[in-house]
A and B are shown apart, each in its own frame.
Chain A
Amino acid sequence: MILVAFRNLFQNKIRLVISVGGVALALLLILALDAVFSGVEQQVTAYIDYSGADVFVSQEGVRNMHMASSALSASVASKVKAVSGVASVTPILYVTNVVVADEERNLAYIIGLPPNAAMGGPWRVVAGERIPSDGEAIIDAGVAEKSGIGLGDEVKILGEEFTVAGLSDGTATLINSVAFISKRDFAKLRGDPGTVSYLLVKVEPGGSPERVAARIEAQVSEVTAQTRPAFAAQERRVIKDMSTDVIAIMNLTGFLIGMAVMALTVYTATLSRRAEYGVLKALGARNGHLYRTVLAQALISVALGFGLGLAFTLLLAAIVPQLGTNLSLLISGASLVKVSLVSLVIAAFSAILPIRQIAGLDPAMVFRGK
């Protein structure tokens, strides 16, 4: 009966294209949205991932950077440095603010770096300095290009003018970018030179970041110490929590569109072959045989739609970064599993109505010429 399903499906090419295309577009909606958010998740932790730190130390109870504020006494750095297994400590200052370039306002993580910072600076510099001196800023190359500025031009950060001394790459996301100024400028503008936001810790070669983090929490009071992966995971979780509703609504929209398209095409495909199903029933096919045919038709359509939707998404993922946007599409395994399951549900639901129709077919109708 799989053969019947296959042949039924491929006999009417236009209906096949509509059916598979409709499902592909619906699944594309889900896949692309997931890919966008996966990309954003990856971008949003880019600073953490590329910081070079093994352990992040923050104010007690603060477990991430996005929409968070952490204040540690500057003296904590030396206490952390004294913990066994710690190779080096880089204190940074951090706040979410804007980089104003030529009237263009770009949301940014502002990082205050100490001179000769071993960690926490820009990880790819395409032009200029790697560490900003006083009065200098390193901003994302994409942001600079969009704003029409370059090295030596002025930008306003935290209300103060800075000269662009370096351009970094990979430091912008769909929603914000990362800008680096000197820790001294940052502290001066914030008016609190005695505190830092986070301590970036490098453990000794061969050391365990987990053990070092645990030791820091045990030996230094009022701090939270997390390994880099744990810190990044917390960051992603915050982003996910913020976007879950949006994703859920868009997924539901995709699911409903996909199901409507499939239900309509499987239903009309079955309706157009009602007489043939009646013949099969008269010849001795059981309802189960016919149900399997309809279900197989739906599954084959959805599988083709899934493949096409995935191909469209991969194409998008390849094209979008070329368009000069900060958007990055990342197709995750979890997303593929989710969309596969959604596809199966779409196939099953879309087959219900035709199956009910077949169940009510009277095989004797073949002799009545219906």
Chain B
Amino acid sequence: MESQIPRSKSQLPIPDYQSSNSATLKVDRVTKRYGSGATEVTAVQEVSLTVAAGEIVLIRGPSGSGKTTLLSMLGALLKPTEGTIRLDGTTLSELAENRLPDIRLRQFGFIFQDFNLLSALTALENVALVAALAGAKGKEARKRAAGLMTDLGLKERLNFLPEKLSGGEKQRVAIARALVNDPAIILADEPTANLDSKIGHEIMRLLRRIAKEQNRSVVIVSHDQRIKDIADRVLWLEDGQFKEMVTMATDPVCGMAVEREKAAAQLELDGVTYYFCSRGCRAEFEAERRGQVVGDRLTLQVGRP
């Protein structure tokens, strides 16, 4: 799977360390039912999924398809009725209820649609609090939170209350909060839903870089079509089951993620297939290569207009 990071002049910086906490999340034939008897509802049915370290998985689907239930189970917020969820050697679905808060605190980072920052705390305190919950002492928690937020471009906003922050800044604070305990997995629920297009793109690129540069797994549930651009895999959940899987590739010129099946242009070169977001990118790529390769051994295949 291609894992090239999109390049952008306006991209946000991210903390320059690798997660020491990479892990693989394995979901095996997980089912979740609510109620019983005549009122029983199956929200998720025999879903299996593996999310590798550094991978970004986008889960899409119509409302009521079971996305939220699945995300809650992945994040150890909800226990499956059947099946297992493993995080490396630990079977989360079998852990006692009282062990789950620690798992959530140290292994998962949560990003929410509405940011869900505590309104009475400053941006810095929102992040430091989660570090403190995991056992960091007050000063150390604040130092770690401040470092992370500075890396995310929030240095001037540390002591602002959430109400004084823009949507993008709030989401970056939420991302800092999600990262502060160095989790292996980031779970994001509609992370761009309340953001405008430009900020949404920034957040998407940030999530991708967090996955690729820090080797964290990122699972995103979203209706936002644009998130396909950064995902390694897109899964379609409907009636509690995965119906379709789309594999993504990265445009080698502009860095955009593109669906292989729907790429605007493809190029086969020395046995490798490249996928492009537009014919312009393909032409640019082609021009670059023309200078390097003697003779035209390129087989062009123009995609759909």
Contact = CB atoms under 8 A, between A and B. Distances in A.
A358 interface: no
Contacts of A283: 104-105, 110, 130, 133, 177
Given A366-B112, A367-B71, A367-B189, A285 B133 contact: yes
A364 B78 contact: yes
Contacts of B105: 283-285
B113 interface: yes
B36 to A, nearest CB: 18
B125 A3 contact: yes
Interface in B104-146: 104-106, 108, 110, 112-114, 116, 118-121, 125, 129-130, 133-134
A369 interface: yes
Interface string B72-88: 10010110000000000
Chain A interface extent, by class: 20 to 34
A211 interface: no
Contacts of A281: 101
Contacts of B177: 283
A3 B101 contact: no
A128 interface: no
A4 B68 CA distance: 28
Contacts of A10: 120
Nearest to B121: A7
A364 B77 contact: yes
Nearest to A283: B130
A284 B113 contact: no
Contacts of A3: 121, 125, 129
Given A8-B120, A367-B77, A282 B129 contact: no
Contacts of B121: 3-4, 7
Interface in B276-294: none
A188 interface: no
A282 B118 CA distance: 13
Given A284-B101, A285-B133, A286-B101, A367 B118 contact: no
A354 to B, nearest CB: 16
B133 A4 contact: no
B102 interface: yes
B26 to A, nearest CB: 21
B133 A11 contact: no
A276 interface: yes
A4 B121 CA distance: 7
A300 interface: no
Contacts of A7: 118, 120-121, 125
A283 B121 CA distance: 16
A58 B130 CA distance: 73
Interface string A1-31: 0011001101100000000000000000000
Contacts of B125: 3, 7
A356 interface: no
B96 to A, nearest CB: 13
A284 B120 contact: no
Contact of B133 (A275, A284, A366): A284
Contacts of B71: 367
Contact of A279 (B102, B106, B118): B118
A10 B161 CA distance: 13
A276 B110 contact: no
Given A283-B110, A285-B133, A364-B72, A276 B102 contact: no
B116 A284 contact: no
Given A286-B101, A364-B78, A4 B120 contact: yes
Contact of B118 (A4, A284, A286, A369): A4
A276 B118 contact: yes
Nearest to A288: B101
Interface string A264-305: 000000000001100111111110010000000000000000
Contacts of B119: 11, 276
A229 interface: no
Given A282-B104, A282-B110, A283-B105, A363 B118 contact: no
Given A281-B101, A284-B134, A363-B104, 19 more contacts: A4-B129, A276-B119, A279-B116, A279-B118, A284-B101, A284-B103, A284-B104, A284-B130, A285-B101, A286-B98, A286-B101, A363-B77, A366-B110, A366-B112, A367-B68, A367-B72, A367-B75, A367-B77, A368-B68
Interface of A: 3-4, 7-8, 10-11, 275-276, 279-286, 289, 363-364, 366-369
Please provide the 8 A-B residue pairs with the shortest distance between their CB atoms, ordered closest to farther: A284-B105, A7-B120, A284-B104, A364-B77, A11-B120, A364-B72, A279-B116, A367-B68
5 contacts: A283-B133, A284-B130, A364-B77, A366-B110, A367-B68
